[in-house]
Amino acid sequence: MKIAVLDRRALGEDLSLAPLERFGEVIVYPTTSEEELPARVADAYIVLINKVRFGRAAFDAAKKLRLICEFATGYDNISLEDARTHGVAVVNVPAYSTESVALFTFATVLSLMTHLSEYRAYVADGRYTASGVPNLLSPAYHELAGKTWGIVGCGNIGGRVAAIAEAFGAKVIVNRRREDPRFCCVDIETLCRESDILTLHCPLNEGTRHLLNAERIGMMKRSAILVNEARGAVVDSEAVACAIEEGRLGAFGSDVYDGEPLRSEDPLYRIRERENVILTPHAAWGAYEARERCLEIVCENIRAFFDGEIKNRVDI
């Protein structure tokens, strides 16, 4: 039985895939293009993917396919309609990256708040040594305590971010689909108007596509920090780029893009080198420990499928 791993590089080449070998012959491809996909899945029984888009043409070519394992929580790269039509099960990996994404969220926010890259550059390029002054306090930075931290999407990751923000002394407000007594829940417009920091942790669907559009970004404080750790299309990239360029948004960070890797024609590419912008290469999910957990759950999903159990199925 053939198991095809279609985008090995997206999983991190330091992670051993040996645990998969107990289920069958493992064929590993570093990356897989749209043109290469049909041939590579033609005789695969199981496919493991992270970012490869799997649509009708791939399903039509995969005559032996019975199971797709998403090496992630989000599965918007897979056509579930075509999976159902072709009788292919689809499983994902929930709640494995909570600590990793929360860590990256805070690293990004705190770096932007404290102007850390600018202060580091001041020392690294010799200006501090040449200045004759024992300290530099410009640009000014502010404490997190007492600030309002807004969160869109307060599931496992958003909830963890909320807990850490509160530990720093921030007031947390939340926008989520359903009210939750644990949080101060507000509508999206209130969240945009009141937040000093606004972080995104929601799934991408028709209700969240361009949720942060030009109108809502225009409601935000000029000093606000916006960080996207959800999906690229949750924000309107052109609206964000314009707000940064025109000084209508304090700072922006993103680890996700509407098309990955970040394309040169993406509006965010224009602002990638600005001091108040931190763009990272979709790395937030992938602390080594998180990827180990992810692989363990993938293996458990495969075992459950063979044993006739319904576990982490997203196609039913």
Residue 282 catalytic? yes
Catalytic residue among 201, 231, 291, 293: 231
SS (H, E, C) the chain: CEEEECCHHHHCCCCCCHHHHHHCEEEECCCCCCCCHHHHHCCCCEEEECCCCECHHHHHHCCCCCEEEECCCCCCCECHHHHHHCCCEEECCCCCCHHHHHHHHHHHHHHHHHCHHHHHHHHHCCHHHHHCCCCCCCCCCCCCCCCEEEEECCCHHHHHHHHHHHHCCCEEEEECCCCCCCCEECCHHHHHHHCCEEEECCCCCCCCCCCECHHHHHHCCCCCEEEECCCHHHECHHHHHHHHHCCCCCEEEECCCCCCCCCCCCHHHHHCCCCCEEECCCCCCCCHHHHHHHHHHHHHHHHHHHCCCCCCECCC
Catalytic residue among 115, 216, 282, 291: 282
Catalytic residue among 34, 143, 166, 260: 260
Residue 260 catalytic? yes
Catalytic residue annotation = 231, 260, 282
